[in-house]
Amino acid sequence: YDLGSAKLTGQFAYTPNYFGVAKRGTYFMLALDMPLAADFALNAHFGEQWLKVDKSSGIKQTFVNADTAYLPKNYSEWKLGISKQLSGVGFELAYFDTNLNKDKCLAFQGQQDLCGSRFVFSINKSF
């Protein structure tokens, strides 16, 4: 959706078989890209993931401890970044985070810090 100089976009994804461990997965995301002064841009998004586990998989959707296979029923993730294009090269500094705590992240992904907040600096060039 075009908001004049700003741009609002959405994304919807559905799978009936989420990596073989869930009956279905649904994801919805809204993003905002807005130009700023001096040719900078603000880039933000918010996404929500919903998962329905197949009970025969043995995976729980109730957190017990870090040794239990765990898949959250839903979780949120977001990004807030600032970007700039210089001579056809894109630069962005962004902050990413989720609402999964360290214990749930450890059981879900196998690493405590994978779901934690972080800053990411990226450089891209299209050919």
pTM of the full structure? 0.75
What's residue 107's pLDDT?
52
The ranges of the chain with pLDDT < 50 are 64, 66
List, for residues 91-109, the tens digit of each pLDDT value. Answer: 999 999 988 776 666 555 5
Q: How many helices (H) and strands (E) does the chain have?
A: 1, 7
Q: Which amino acid is at 3?
A: L
What's residue 117's pLDDT?
85
What's residue 12's pLDDT?
97
Helices (H), the chain: 102-109
Strands 74-86 vs 40-53: parallel, antiparallel or unpaired: antiparallel
Report residue 45 as tokens: 């998004």
Stretch (H or E) spanning 20: none
